[in-house]
Structure 1
Amino acid sequence: MNATDVLLDGFDRVRHAVSRVLEGLSDDQLAHRVNGTSNSIAWLVWHLTRVQDDHVADLAGTGQVWETDGWADRFGLPLPPEDTGYGHDDEQVAAVVASAGLLLGYHEAVCARTQDYLRGVEAADLSEVVDESWDPPVTRAVRLVSVLEDDLQHVGQAAFVRGLLS
């Protein structure tokens, strides 16, 4: 197993976790905010998927699935198309309302794009610096691990909220 295989496995685990979190939930359950201001399951899944889409598209030098495949139009959110949810306030979090099918469809599309990208990454590509604005500079591998870590945290938060719904 090489580093790319590990990343493929990690992102596939996120995909399965997202599917389990969304399974059988109503739109109201997906939009539920535990204390009235916390992140909803819909927002958490949308956000983790948007960040993955944004960052992998940047690494691959392609457009984001959100825009190129029409997901922004399907969701119809009152947010700019480039919005990933970073820094959202209470009103913006509340604006992210979507069905489980829509969230899962977008997530699956982003996962497919991520897998395609990773299958084309060579071991040497992973050590390439992709962002010099950090100290130390960020390599392709570090950026991918960062996305994976963010995804895992947010899907864990969504699973926690799901558990509170029971």
Structure 2
Amino acid sequence: MKSNELLLDAFGRIHETVARTLEGADGETLVRRPAGNGNSMAWLIWHLSRVEDAQLSSVAGLEQVWTSQGYAGRFALPLPERDTGYGHSSGQVDAVKAAPELLLAYYDAVHRQTVAFLTDLGDDDLDRIVDRRWDPPVTLGVRLVSTIADCLQHVGQAGYARGLHSAPQA
């Protein structure tokens, strides 16, 4: 297996899990915050989509899907256009509301851009330095793995939040 095939599989699993997590979710489920202050499903799916979009478009030298395909306008969130959710306050988490169809459409578009980038990626490309602000500098391979880890954590949290909503209350 080539490294790009492994990466395509990992990002594909995120894609499948996002779709499965959103399937049949209603508006109330999407905005419910575990314990009243945890991150909502809508925020988690939006955030992981923004993270993948921002990270992959940066290393690929592409414009983010969020802006290039008009998702910033379609979501119409009261947040700065380049916001990805890092460091959000409770009020900012509450501000992220969207229908499951819109959340999935955005992630689908991000995933398509990710797949297009990874398809022709060679093993040697993974050693390319993409961020010199760290010591040691971050390679493309490290950035891709950290993006996968972040997105998998957040989709898992979204699934957990959904399960809490459907579980009987004691």
TM-score by length of 2: 0.96
Please report the RMSD computed on the Cα atoms of aligned residues, expressed in angstroms: 0.7
1:124 corresponding residue in structure 2: 124
Q: How does 1:10-29 map to 2 (within 5 A)?
A: 10-29=10-29
1:32 corresponding residue in structure 2: 32
What per-residue deviation string (whole Å, max 9, x for no partner) do you get for residues 21-61 of structure 1?
10101111101112221100000000000010001000111
**In structure 1, distance between residues paired with 2:30 and 2:123:** 39
What per-residue deviation string (whole Å, max 9, x for no partner) do you get for residues 99-122 of structure 1?
100000000000000000001212
Q: Number of aligned pairs?
A: 166
Q: Percent identity?
A: 51
Displacement, 1:138?
A: 0.6
Runs of 4+ in 1 over 2 A off after TM superposition: none
Q: How does 1:65-76 map to 2 (within 5 A)?
A: 65-76=65-76
User: Does the 8 A contact of 2:53 with 2:110 survive in 1?
Assistant: yes
- Opposite residue 90 of structure 1, the aligned amino acid is S
**In structure 2, distance between residues paired with 1:40 and 1:130:** 31
**In structure 1, distance between residues paired with 2:63 and 2:153:** 25
2:42 corresponding residue in structure 1: 42
Q: How does 1:84-99 map to 2 (within 5 A)?
A: 84-99=84-99
- Opposite residue 6 of structure 2, the aligned amino acid is V
Displacement, 1:7?
A: 0.5
1:8 corresponding residue in structure 2: 8
User: Does the 8 A contact of 2:4 with 2:120 survive in 1?
Assistant: no
TM-score by length of 1: 0.98
User: Which shows bigger deviation, 134-143 or 85-94?
Assistant: 134-143
